Amino acid sequence: MTRTWPTNLATDEGVLAWEFLDFLRKTAVVKVDGLTRDQAAAAPISTSPKLTALGVLKHLVAVERYWLCIAGAGLDLPSLWEGSPDPSWDLTDDDTPESLIQAYREEWTNAEALKKLDADATAADGERTVRWILAHVAQETARHVGHLDLLRELADGQTGE
């Protein structure tokens, strides 16, 4: 997967925000791609038994679905966060690196609906601007990419951005 840094001489804040999110999304995929199912499902930090590479990616699928697609664009899609505690970290036997990468990419396509809205517009949830939602998802994704950096290194020793 080719990741491209956002334009250094950016002049459009909205385009830049989406470019950074795209870079972070692709970085998350790179961190999981190539792991075996066992490596990706491993929880190497004893105090965080749900912190797995697959769990992080599955959670990012739920983040994009809810924030960008449902709350942001108002798409009629089911939330992946039904239940408490947050079930998006729970793995099933069907969760593999390949299946969750595919699901994540599908949410990117769904989120294209939000790109059509002005950043200053009120999001579909009526409580936030589109700009706020995009910034929130970018920070959430960046935080979890940091988790994936560590999990990948613990899984197979691979480091790097």
* pLDDT values of the chain reduced to their tens digit, one per residue, 161 residues: 788 888 888 888 888 999 999 999 999 999 999 999 999 999 999 999 999 999 999 999 999 999 999 999 999 999 998 888 889 999 999 999 999 999 999 999 999 999 999 999 999 999 999 999 999 999 999 999 999 999 999 999 999 87
Query: What whole-number distance in Å separates Cα of residue 122 and Cα of residue 35?
Result: 40
Which residues 6+ apart lie within 8 Å of 18 measured at CB? 115, 134
The residue extents of the domains of the chain are 13-156
pTM: 0.95
Contact 53, 35 (CB under 8 A): yes
Residue range 13-156 in CATH 3.40.50.2300 = no
Handedness of CA 14, 16, 22, 24 (dihedral sign): negative
